[in-house]
């Protein structure tokens, strides 16, 4: 008499590992979908763009979760710091007037750009939903002449 081979169930530990791996796969797939669904490519402003245009693109890159543009508009020293802003939403960006002495000429190498904005889903040190005064410090890249964000803060 021939008997059929008996099926042996995999050990519980093997099933648990398989379920965990499947769960991780679902999480990774979801994260990739979320990134693709919420990521917006923000174009770089032209090389001759004003400091205000650069700040506008920088904030658009934050809102669009565009890390590549964010890094391209930052000095190498601040590129990593800039990525902290990804996931934050900055609304109602308003450029504050500068006096003529503060407006950079073609020979200037730095510029302050004072703004106000309303922050959403961001830094716990700022009150969400309230207008915040902020200043971006930009420096001119010696090689390209492009303005880059070097520092930022309240002020």
CATH number, domain with residue 108: 3.10.450.50
Output the pLDDT for position 66.
96
Which domain does 104 fall in, by range? 51-154
pLDDT (tens digit, 9 = 90+) per residue, 39-70?
899 999 998 899 999 999 999 999 999 999 99
With cut-offs at 50, 70 and 90, classify the pLDDT of residue 4: low
Instruction: Compute the average pLDDT of residues 73-80.
Output: 93
* Tally of structural domains, the chain: 1
Q: What is the mean pLDDT of residues 125-138?
A: 89
For residue 78, being part of any structural domain is answered with yes
- The percent of residues above 90 in pLDDT, for the chain, comes to 46
Mean pLDDT of the chain: 83
With respect to residue 32, please indicate whether it lies within any of the assigned structural domains: no
**Alpha carbon distance 111, 103 (integer Å):** 7
Does residue 25 lie in a domain region? no
DSSP string over 63-74? HTT-HHHHHHTB
pTM (2 d.p.): 0.72
Rounded distance between C-alpha atoms, residue 61 and residue 150, angstroms: 16
Domain assignment of residue 45, yes or no: no
Residue 75 Rama label (left phi>0; alpha psi -120 to 50; beta): beta
Nearest-angstrom CA–CA distance, 81 and 149? 11
Band the pLDDT of 152: cuts 50, 70, 90: very high
Question: Is 92 contained in some domain?
Answer: yes
């Amino acid at each position: 008499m021939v008997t059929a081979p008996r099926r042996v169930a995999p050990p519980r530990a093997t099933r648990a590992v398989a379920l965990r791996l499947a769960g991780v796969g679902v999480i990774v797939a979801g994260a990739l979908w979320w990134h693709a669904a919420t990521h917006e490519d923000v174009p770089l402003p032209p090389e001759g763009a004003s400091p205000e245009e650069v700040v506008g693109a920088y904030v658009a890159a934050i809102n669009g979760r565009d890390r590549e543009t964010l890094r391209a508009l930052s000095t190498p020293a601040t590129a990593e710091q800039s990525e902290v802003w990804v996931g934050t939403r900055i609304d109602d960006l308003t450029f504050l007037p500068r006096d003529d002495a503060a407006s950079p000429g073609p020979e200037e190498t730095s510029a302050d750009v004072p703004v106000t904005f309303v922050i959403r889903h961001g830094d716990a040190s700022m009150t969400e939903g309230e207008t915040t005064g902020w200043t971006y410090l930009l420096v001119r890249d010696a090689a390209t002449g492009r303005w880059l964000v070097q520092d930022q803060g309240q002020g």
